[in-house]
C-alpha cells in the first residue's frame, strides 16, 4: 500500500513539474482542422488550372509549376497566408478551451517562451521566401516553407509535447524531398501541411484531448 501511495505521489509531482515547465494545452483538433484548411487551399490553387502544374519540370530556378505566372504565385501566397491565420486563430481558440479545462493559463511564461522559439524560424523562413519571390526562385518556396516550419516545431517542442518534435522532423524531411523534386511542390505541400497535420492532430486528440 505504501509503495502505491509513493507511486501516486511521484506521478502527481511529475504532473505538476510538467505543467510548470511545458505548455500541455495544445489541441489535437486544431491540428486536424489546420490540415483540412491546407487541403482545401491546395485544391483551390490546383483545380482552376491543373494544366499549369507539370510534374516533369524539376528546375528549381524556374518554378514548381510549368509556365507559372505571377498571378498563380500571388494566389498561392495569399491562400497560404489565409490558411496560416485561420490555423493560428483555430489553435488559439481550441487551446484556450483546453487550457481552461486543464487549469493552465493560455498566456503564461511557458506559452510565451514556446511562441518565441517557434517564431524565430518562422520569421526567418518568411523573410527568406520573400527574397526568393523577389528573385523569382519559385521552385524553392515550398521546400523552404516545410523546412523552416519543421525547424520551428522542433525548437518549440522543448516546451510542449514531444510529439511535436516528430512532426517537425517529418516536415523537414518532406521539405528536403520537395527540394529534390520541385515539380511536385504543391502535392508535397499538401502532404506536409495537410495530411501530416491531420494524422498528427488525430493522434494528439486521441492521446491527450479525450
Higher-pLDDT residue of 104, 126: 126
| Number of residues written out for the chain | 210
pLDDT at 144: 93
For the chain, what is the radius of gyration of the CA atoms? 19
| pLDDT on residue 22 | 57
Please report, for the chain, the start and end positions of each structural domain, with discontinuous segments joined by +: 26-209
Instruction: Report the pLDDT averaged over residues 78-96.
Output: 85
Answer whether residue 54 shows pLDDT above 90: no
Alpha-carbon span 146 to 80, nearest angstrom:
12
Say yes or no to pLDDT of 40 above 70.
yes
Question: What is the residue-averaged pLDDT of the chain?
Answer: 78
Between 127 and 74, name the one with better pLDDT.
Answer: 127
- Say what the pLDDT of residue 97 is: 80
Distance (Å, whole) CA 37 – CA 34: 5
Query: What does 15-72 look like in DSSP terms, one character per residue?
Result: HHHHHHHS-----HHHHHHHHHHHHHHHHHHHTT-GGG--TT---TTT-SSTT--HHH
pLDDT of 134: 83
Which pLDDT score is estimated for 53? 62
- Record the pTM: 0.78
Amino acid at each position: 500500500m505504501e509503495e502505491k501511495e509513493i507511486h501516486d505521489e511521484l506521478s502527481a509531482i511529475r504532473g505538476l513539474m510538467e505543467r510548470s515547465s511545458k505548455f500541455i494545452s495544445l489541441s489535437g483538433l486544431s491540428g486536424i482542422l489546420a490540415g483540412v484548411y491546407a487541403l482545401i487551399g491546395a485544391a483551390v490553387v490546383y483545380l482552376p488550372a491543373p494544366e499549369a502544374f507539370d510534374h516533369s519540370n524539376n528546375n528549381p530556378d524556374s518554378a514548381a509549376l510549368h509556365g507559372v505566372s505571377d498571378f498563380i504565385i500571388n494566389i498561392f501566397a495569399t491562400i497560404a497566408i489565409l490558411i496560416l491565420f485561420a490555423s493560428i486563430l483555430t489553435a488559439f481558440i481550441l487551446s484556450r478551451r483546453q487550457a481552461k479545462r486543464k487549469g493552465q493559463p493560455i498566456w503564461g511564461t511557458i506559452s510565451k517562451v514556446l511562441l518565441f522559439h517557434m517564431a524565430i524560424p518562422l520569421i526567418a523562413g518568411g523573410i527568406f521566401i520573400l527574397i526568393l519571390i523577389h528573385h523569382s526562385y519559385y521552385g524553392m518556396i515550398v521546400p523552404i516553407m516545410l523546412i523552416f516550419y519543421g525547424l520551428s516545431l522542433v525548437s518549440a517542442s522543448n516546451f510542449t509535447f514531444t510529439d511535436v518534435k516528430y512532426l517537425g522532423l517529418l516536415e523537414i524531411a518532406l521539405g528536403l524531398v520537395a527540394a529534390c523534386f520541385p515539380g511536385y511542390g504543391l502535392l508535397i505541400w499538401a502532404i506536409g501541411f495537410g495530411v501530416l497535420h491531420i494524422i498528427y492532430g488525430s493522434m494528439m486528440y486521441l492521446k491527450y484531448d479525450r
